[in-house]
Amino acid sequence: MEALDRIVVRVLALLLVALSVLIAMTLWGDVLLVNWILTLQNRLFDGVILILILLLFSLYLIFMSVKPKTDERVVSHHTTLGMVNVSVATLTGLIMKAVQQFEGVKYVNVMINEVEPLKISIELQLLPDHNIPELSQSIQAKVTEYLRSTVGISAESINVLIKSIVNDHKQKLG
């Protein structure tokens, strides 16, 4: 979470606490909140400013919720002309594509657990009638070789988790 996001969330949390206290006081007979809201009728400018502030806060919260989360970790190489940083998203995409090319793989999810040293977890859903240990070993070998040739890095560990075996409905229809 960025610094501005944290500030917005804290301010909103404090506002909500204050509002809860005022509502609780209203329930027990205090009319402070009601009176304050009624006075806004005579102070139109203040009311408009308050509405704008609340609208801005809500728009910011909506923006925060739809903003895609980015993994800012990178794998770095140093060269004579500068640094080459490869983002985790790039690595994930490359590994996914390499694994998807295996016959028998229905669904792939790739997670980069650590970047230095590089530790990868691959979750798979497989089609039936494939030898799982053989397929897993082939995938590990392929990913290792692929990362070496494409990104120029070697992975310390590539863990494969077979989550499930699924039927290929398309084949059944044929």
Partner 1 sequence: MAEDNRMNLGELKIANEVVGIIAGLAATEVEGVAGMSGGIAGGIAEMLGRKNLSKGVKVEVNEHETLVDLFVIVNYGVSIPEVAKNIQENVKKAIEIMTGLDVTEVNIHVLGVHFPQPQIETEEISPVQVK
Site track for partner 1 across 52-81, x = CB under 8 A: ----------------------x--x-x-x
Residue of 6, 43, 97, 163 interacting with partner 1 (CB under 8 A): 97
List of residues 6+ apart from 26 with CB closer than 8 A: 32, 33, 34
Residue of 23, 93, 134, 145 interacting with partner 1 (CB under 8 A): 93
- How far apart are CB 148 and partner 1 at their closest, in Å? 10
Cis? peptide before 117, omega within 30° of 0? yes
Instruction: Record the tokens describing residue 46, joined without a space.
Output: 């203040």
Checking phi first, is residue 115 left (phi over 0); if not, alpha (psi -120 to 50) or beta? alpha
Place of tokens 């909506």: 62
Residue 170 engages partner 1 in binding (rule: CB under 8 A): yes
161/6 Cα distance (integer angstroms): 36
- How far apart are CB 139 and partner 1 at their closest, in Å? 18
171/69 Cα distance (integer angstroms): 37
Span from 30-38, 43-51, 88-96, 154-162 in contact with partner 1 (CB under 8 A): 88-96
Span from 22-30, 86-94, 131-139, 159-167 in contact with partner 1 (CB under 8 A): 86-94
- How far apart are CB 36 and partner 1 at their closest, in Å? 39
